[in-house]
Structure 1
Amino acid sequence: MNSTVRRWLASAGAMRRVLSTFAPYLGAGIRVTHIAEDFSSARVEMGQHWYNTNYVGTHFGGSLYSMVDPMYMLLLMRRLGNDYIVWDKSASIDFIRPGKGKVMARFELTDERVDEIRAATADGDKMLPEWDVEIVDESGELVARVHKILYVRRKRG
């Protein structure tokens, strides 16, 4: 990550503001409403607008996926620090029911999970941690489930 971007994302508040004004998020109507100061959790919301609604009147599936795309990678990068390489490896999305109105997703990155990743990568081995993220509507009904796999390795040297 270059030094300018790293500086922009140095605090949770700064990361929230930068992501909420990031062109792909701004263009889809996605807002990052919360990032914990210790980067252990986040919340993302998206209201329904003419520009993120598909032909049949529901949320565009690409926007639903965009809501969750970078979050675990960014949270984990901040939790692990600069001695680690963290990349998104793969993802899949399962659309459960049509999404209408405001939708949201929550992300939790526990201390235990971070410790597990540190232990598994301490000798320079890679780890492919997985997470499931649920996107729900205002009434709490499940709209979509995203399965994310990250690549994590401690830097050599």
Structure 2
Amino acid sequence: MKLINWWPPMLGTGIWLSYVSPRLDEFRVKMHLRWFNKNLIGIHYGGSLYSMCDPWYMFILTANLGKKYLVMDKAAAIRYLKPGRGTLYCTFRLEQEQISAIRSEIDEIGKKDYTFLCEIRNKEGEIVCEVDKVVYVRKKDFDWDAFNAKNQKDRVS
């Protein structure tokens, strides 16, 4: 998994995966401030801050739900709270109970969007930036025809 550090979007922004839990339910990343990831006023570039949060919840769910489920990043919202200087850190974790609850819910309803809060922190532990990540999860054998028929029926009613 740590080969992702050499994937161009990570390498090019200076994002470094520093920890992966054995169950693939926790990832920790860091990003040093370098000449190639700072903006015009000398702080972390916003796109790099977002990139710190991009794939991790999708990875956690894909690894833990298994092959019967499709997991995709769907949307994000970013809030800058203070200037990002120096090395920044972010931890992404889902408890096994959360993963089991998501699996049960998807088994029952077929598909759903989940929103996860990512908090990017500086070395003092202060939150520099928050990113809401929306991740789409569905069963691979989801019955789109039945879903569309139900929605059509609900619109007519």
The amino acid of 2:104's aligned partner reads A
In our comparison, the structure showing a higher alpha carbon Rg is 2
TM-score normalized by the length of structure 1:
0.87
Residues 117-148 of structure 1: per-residue CA shift (max 9 Å, x gap): 11111146102111101000011111100001
Q: Of residues 9, 22, 33 in structure 2, which corresponds to 1:48?
A: 33
> Quick check: 1:111 aligned with 2:96?
yes
Note the 1:62-81 alignment, pairs <5 A. 62-81=47-66
Stretches of structure 1 that go unaligned for 5 or more consecutive residues are 1-14
User: 4+ residue runs of structure 1 moved beyond 3 angstroms?
Assistant: none
Query: In the alignment, residue 31 of structure 2 is paired with which amino acid?
Result: M
Partner SS state of residue 129, structure 1: strand
What SS is found at the alignment partner of 1:112?
helix
**Cα distance in structure 2, aligned partners of 1:78 and 1:68:** 17
Figure out how many residues of one structure are paired with residues of the other and give that number. 142
Q: Tell me the TM-score normalized by structure 2.
A: 0.87
Q: 90, 94, 104: which one pairs with 2:79?
A: 94
What are the ranges of 5 or more consecutive residues in structure 2 without an aligned counterpart?
A: 143-157
Summarize the alignment of residues 100-139 of structure 1 with structure 2, pairs less than 5 Å apart.
Answer: 100-123=85-108, 125-139=110-124
| Partner-residue secondary structure (3-state), 2:36 | helix
State the shift of 1:112 in Å: 1.3
Q: Select which of 56, 61, 69 maps to 1:84.
A: 69
> Is it true that 1:21 corresponds to 2:21 in the alignment?
no
**Contact 1:123–1:154 under 8 Å retained in 2:** no
Q: Which residue of 2 aligns with 1:12?
A: none
Contact 1:105 1:133 in 2 (8 A): yes
Displacement after TM superposition at 1:61 (Å): 0.5
Are 1:144 and 2:141 matched, yes or no?
no
Query: Identity percentage over the alignment?
Result: 38
